[in-house]
Every structure is written in structure tokens, then in C-alpha cells.
Structure 1
């Protein structure tokens, strides 16, 4: 009998659901197959033209507990450096993907798990969600791209507090500070995250990709912002999606993006 996959994949139309499936390890990124499964899922998202958005979630009541402290405590420095270099591909892949990624957070998102959620484009927090930049509790410094993603979400002051104090943040506080974008109406974040992803999947792909690119390069100075819009906006105004959006506006109907117009 084969071992269950460490990352389960499920397709919902144009949305790809990636479920971390290592509950015995609280879905640690160090659990065998988790990193590889997430990277494979992100590759599928980018390469499959019929996929528009991904949702990352966790099985067994946890989103992701981060790294394995036992492994980190006993590994020589060169092994840890190599592992962190490999892990960087995950955060870079989410941040630089042309398509959108939504985190559905139920239970703890601690350490690198916080980093996994924070680098996603949108975060939906379930009632049980808890976030913690826990590194300083064990004498470590934040990694998982958190020096980029966390200040971008909550500002430098709140990021400094989260990094230095390592306090836990619940779903309602995460929503208030901008760490989460939505708080699930029901118990679990997944249904709301899937509905949000399906909405995004119906949106204009080229515009979404350029918004994601612009936000990744933010904050911009005035001249940088003006140059960015001149470099990218004219292409969108010449696109089929814009023609469809404009036609739908004047015809007082919902636009249907992603189809060529005559």
C-alpha cells in the first residue's frame, strides 16, 4: 500500500487546491514531500493555461507549523544553509508567479508557516487560525521571506512587534492588522478561500499579473510608479480583456474575461 501524498491536489474548475497533508508533523515544511509537493503544484499552476488560481491549505487542523526544530538543532550549518536555499524557491515561486495564490489558514501558521501564508496574494483566516512569528522563542531569526512579506502586509512597526515579541495573533486581530484579508464566516477558511479563488479565476488574467508585479516592486517612488504604468498599462488597454470589460460596462452586464473579441 502506497504512502499518502504529502501534498494533495484537487481541481475545482480553474482553481487548483493544494493541501499540506502531513498532520503528524503539523504540516511542517520539513516533513518529507511537502516542499516538493508544493513546488510541483506551483509549476502545474503556471504551466497549465486552464488553471487561473491556487488555494494552499492544511489538513488535520493545522495550516503549517514551519520547520522541524529537531532537524534544525542537529544539522550542521552548511546543511541548514543548503536547505534554506532550496526552501527559498517556494516563497519566490509564490511571489513571482503570474497567477494568484490564496492561503486558507485554519489552525496554526507558525514560523515558516506564517511566511508561507504571508507571501500569498490573499489570506483567508478561519475561526481557529493563529499566526505567530515564533523564531525568537527558540533563539532564531525570521526566515521564509518574512522580512519582505510581513512589513508589506502589516507595516514595519507591527512586523517589528511580531518578530521581537513572538506573540500569537488570532483571526480577528490578523484581519484588523492586514495580515489576513478575509475572516471566514463559518468555522473553516477553505470554503471561503475557494469561493474567493473562483472569483479571482473569472477576473482579467493580464491585469491581475501586472498588479501582482507592481505590488511586488512596491513601494515605488513617484517616477518609478509613472514609469511602471507607462510600461504596462498600454498593453492592457489594447487587450481583449479590456475591450470586453469596456463593452460590458456600456452594455450593463458582467464581463466575461479570457475570450478573444472580434
Structure 2
């Protein structure tokens, strides 16, 4: 990427490599708050690019300056009227929808704090990688608020209702290894940053079968399914995948005892 002075750097740094777009929240003076100027717009633009560019197959969301994302700006929230807060929150719902409804996998590389809506940003992603210094906190009740940022959807899906209740009510901090043990994070980089491990995982995603990954994501978004829902979902989706170029390549690679080369042709 091109190097800029700190004053001229955009609020979200964008890097593209090997089919992956990396979006780095770059407002360290505000601990990468989602209300920092340009953060929301930069994330939405990057996710739009992920959707529109067929050469991009995965994304990383991470933060600069030792923090992932501190969530909302308490000063702005306290100064706003109820209608102003509702307007801002309504706009932000599109960010979580964009992450959840994308057919492509999005990885959160969490270093430092992921608090409040920052936890929501991470938990909405498909894979969460926690670095050595990662700290997760559903911090809303600490300041007399209730969770937003799609957390009533994402947290129960990750950790179950009982654990969600504890996280939401008591606002305890959860660090990297514990986050993995309860399902809040998927991988833990015990030493150093989460970013190298997240980059390794997204490269694996980019080299993998895009349509099956997308269908798995869509199916799990509807979990838990009843038996009939699960059978219907597989009938709606699996036959087309078995008829795809990627499946033919995967089967050929299996019999030829070599690694498959997915994504060589569009279905």
C-alpha cells in the first residue's frame, strides 16, 4: 500500500492481495470507534467492493493502533436526542446486514479491545481470530445501555443463550483463550497479533470453493433449523454445487491425488 502521513490517511485502510481485501479501521485516536468520521463509510465501501469484484473471495476486518474497535462514541451518544440516536443506529444496521448477508466469508482479526458495538462488529463476522492482547466485552450495561450491533443475533449463535445472558448482564471482559473456549472467537494467536493468522485463513478461503463456503454461511445464518428446514435447504442448494466446475475439479483432484485448484472457471 502507499504510505501516507497520519493526517492524510483514510479512516479505513484498504489492501488487496491474493483474492482478499483487508479493511483496517484507522482511527486510533478514538480507539477505532464506529462513530469516527469515515469509519462506517469506509467499511461499507470495502464490503461493496468485496461483493462486486469477482476476483475478491474473502475479507479481513481489523484495527490499527492496538485496538480493534471500541464501539460507539459515548460523548456523541450522550449528546444526541432519542431520535438522533435511532437514526444513527438505523444506518448502522446496514453494516451488520452487509456482513451477515454476504455470500463471501469475512474474518475479524481482533487485537486489543473489541467493546460494545466493536464486539458486535467482530461477532457478526464468519471467523473471529483473537490476538494475544484481544479483549472482548459486551460493555453496554457498564454505562446504563443495552446491547445493539446485532448482538442479540450474533452472540447466542456463537455462545448460546446462557452464556450470552452472562456476557450481556455482567459485562465481563473475555480474553483470547477464554473467548475461544466459549465460542466467542474461533482461533487464538497466543503470541503476537491476530492479523498474520487471519491472513493465513483468508488465503485458505480465497483458494477454496467459493460457492460451498457461501452456502454454508447462508445455512448457518438460519440455524438452528428444524429437520424439515435442513432437508429443504440441502435440496435447494447441494445439487447445483455437485453440478459445478469446482466440484468436478475437486473430484478430479481427489482421484489424481493432487491439491484442487478451485475457482478456475466461473459457474
Indicate the larger mover: 90-99 or 176-185.
176-185
- Could you list the per-position Cα deviations for residues 226-250 of structure 1 after superposition, in whole angstroms to 9, with x for gaps in the alignment? 0000000000000000111111111
Q: TM-score, normalised by structure 2?
A: 0.96
Aligned mate of 1:227, from 220, 232, 235:
232
Q: How many residues align?
A: 261
User: Which position in structure 2 is the counterpart of 1:36?
Assistant: 41
Secondary structure of 2:22's aligned partner: strand
User: Which position in structure 1 is the counterpart of 2:77?
Assistant: 72
User: Which position in structure 1 is the counterpart of 2:129?
Assistant: 124
1:203 and 2:208 matched: yes
Matches within 5 A, 1:61-140: 61-140=66-145
User: Which position in structure 2 is the counterpart of 1:154?
Assistant: 159
Partner Cα separation in structure 2 for residue 260 and residue 238 of structure 1: 13
Deviation at 1:187, TM superposition (A): 0.5
User: Which position in structure 1 is the counterpart of 2:26?
Assistant: 21
Deviation at 1:184, TM superposition (A): 1.1
Q: CA RMSD, aligned part only?
A: 1.1
Q: Which 4+ runs in 1 deviate beyond 2 A?
A: none
Deviation at 1:3, TM superposition (A): 3.0
Partner Cα separation in structure 2 for residue 227 and residue 76 of structure 1: 46
Partner Cα separation in structure 2 for residue 158 and residue 252 of structure 1: 44
Task: Verify the 8 A CA contact 2:18 2:206 in the aligned structure 1.
Answer: no
Q: Which runs of 5+ in 2 are unaligned?
A: none
